[in-house]
Amino acid sequence: MTRMRTSLRRVTERDLRQIFEWRRSPQVRKQMISRSVITWRGHKRFWAKRLRSENPSFIVRFDGQDAGLVRLDAVENAHEVGICINPKMHGKGIGSAALAEVVKLARKKNLKKLLARIKLGNAASHRIFEKIGFKPIYMTYELRLKK
Ligand X SMILES: CC(C)(COP(=O)(O)OP(=O)(O)OC[C@H]1O[C@@H](n2cnc3c(N)ncnc32)[C@H](O)[C@@H]1OP(=O)(O)O)[C@@H](O)C(=O)NCCC(=O)NCCS
What is the contact mask toward ligand X in residues 17 to 46, using x (rule: CB under 6 A)? -----------x--x---------------
- Interface with ligand X (CB under 6 A), residue from 8, 16, 19, 84: 84
Q: How many residues does the chain have?
A: 147
What is the contact mask toward ligand X in residues 99 to 128, using x (rule: CB under 6 A)? -----------------x-x---xxxx-xx
Quote the distance between the C-alpha of residue 19 and its chain's center. 11
30-120-6 Cα angle (round to 5) = 70
Q: Do 72 and 81 form a contact (C-beta atoms < 8 A)? A: yes
Q: How many residues bind ligand X (CB under 6 A)?
A: 21
Closest CA to 85 of 115, 59, 103, 46: 59
Least distance between ligand X and beta carbon 55 (Å): 14
Site of interaction with ligand X (CB under 6 A): 28, 31, 82-85, 90-96, 116, 118, 122-125, 127-128
